[in-house]
Structure 1
Amino acid sequence: MVKRLKVLELTNYTAGVCGVWTRVLGESKELSKKFKVKVFSSNAVKGSNKIAKPSERIGLIEIHRFPFKKLGGESFMYWNFKKDFLEYKPDIVMAHSYRHPHTNLAIKYSKITGSRVFLVTHAPFSHDNITRGNMASVLVKLYDSLIAPKVLNKFNKIITITRWEESFLRKLGLDKNKIAYIPNGIPKEFFKQKKAREQNKILFLGRVSPLKSLQTLIRAMSLIKNEKIKLEIVGPAEKEYLTFLKELISKNNLDKRVSFSEPIYDTKKKIKKLDSARIFVLPSKREGMPQSLIEAMSRGKIVIASNTHGSTEIIEDGKNGFLFKTGDAKSLSSKLNLAIRSKNQRLRQNAKKSVERFEWNKVAKTIVRLIS
Structure 2
Amino acid sequence: MKYMSKLVILIVYITKPDIRYGIGGVRKFLTLFSSFAISRSIKIQYCTMFSKPLNFGFLNPACNFIFAIRLLIVLLRFHKDSGVRYVLYVHDAFYSGFVAILASKIKKMPVILHYHNSPSLCFLSASSNTFLARIGYVIIHLVEKYVLKHSHAIIVTNYTLKKLICRLGVVEKRITVLPMPVPLRNLQVGFDRFSVCCKLNIPSNSFIIGYVGRLSSEKNLDILIKAFSMLMEETGDSNMRCILVGDGLERRRLEDLVAKLKLNDFVVFMGFRLDIPLILNVLDVFVLPSKTEGSPLALIEAMAAGKCIVASNIPAIREIVENGKDALLFNPSSPEQLKKVLLTLRNNPLLRRMLIENARRKAEQYDVNVILPKIISICMGVDTYS
TM-score tier by shorter-chain length is: 0.7 to 0.9
Pairs aligned (count): 345
TM-score by length of 1: 0.83
Measured in 2, the distance between the counterparts of 1:346 and 1:113 equals: 54
Shift of 1:319: 0.8
SS at match of 1:41: strand
Is 1:95 the equivalent of 2:101? no
SS of residue in 2 equivalent to 1:11 = strand
CA–CA separation in structure 1 for the residues paired with 2:216 and 2:148: 31
Q: Which residue of 1 aligns with 2:383?
A: none
Which one of the candidate residues 166, 185, 188 is aligned to 2:184? 188
Tell me the TM-score normalized by structure 2.
0.80
| Backbone CA RMSD of aligned residues | 2.7
Instruction: Answer whether contact 1:162 1:183 (CA < 8 A) is retained.
Output: yes
2 CA distance for matches of 1:294 and 1:9? 24
Offset of residue 142 of structure 1: 4.5
Change (3 A) 1:356 1:93: same
**Counterparts of 1:362 and 1:341 in 2: how far apart (Å)?**
37
1:346 aligns with 2:348: no
- Indicate which of 331, 338, 357 corresponds to 2:365: 357
Aligned counterpart, 1:22 = 28
Is the 1:70–1:78 contact (alpha carbons within 8 Å) kept by the matching residues of 2?
no
Q: Which has the higher contact order (CA 8 A, sep 6+)?
A: 2
Residue 150 of structure 1 and its aligned partner are, at CA, apart by 5.0
Cα drift, residue 7 of structure 1: 1.1
- CA shift, 1:312, in A, is 2.2
Letter in 1 for 2:379: I
Residue type at the aligned position of 1:4: K
CA drift of 1:294 comes to 1.0
Asked if the contact 1:296–1:303 (Cα under 8 Å) also holds between the matched residues in 2, the reply is yes
Q: Does 1:42 align with 2:37?
A: no
| Structure 1 residues 279 and 75, CA gap change in structure 2 (3 angstroms) | farther
- For structure 1, the residue ranges without an aligned partner over 5 or more in a row are 50-68
Q: Specify whether residues 25 and 72 from structure 1 end up closer, same or farther in structure 2 by C-alpha distance, changes over 3 A only.
A: farther
Separation of aligned partners in 2, 1:360 and 1:71: 35
What is the SS of the residue equivalent to 2:39?
coil
Percent of pairs with identical residues: 23
* Matched residue type, 2:148: L
Q: Does 1:214 align with 2:221?
A: yes
Residue 129 of structure 1 corresponds to which residue in structure 2?
124
Matching residue's letter, 1:334: K
The residue type equivalent to 2:10 in the other structure is L
CA deviations over 1:330-356 (Å, ceiling 9, x no partner): 010001011111122121011111121
Higher helix share: 2
Would you say the 8 A contact 2:124–2:137 is kept in 1? no
Structure 2 stretches lacking a partner, 5+ long: 195-203, 381-386
Match of residue 233 from structure 1: 244
Instruction: Tell whether the 8 Å contact from 2:125 to 2:218 is kept in structure 1 after alignment.
Output: no
**Equivalent residue of 1:236, what SS?**
coil
Contact 1:232 1:260 in 2 (8 A): yes
User: Are 2:119 and 1:113 aligned?
Assistant: no
Cα distance between partner residues in 1 of 2:103 and 2:123: 34
- Alignment equivalent of 1:138, drawn from 135, 138, 142: 135
Pairwise CA distance, 1:73: 9.4
The equivalent residue for 1:57 is: none
Give 2:243's aligned amino acid.
Answer: E
Q: CA deviation at 1:148?
A: 5.3
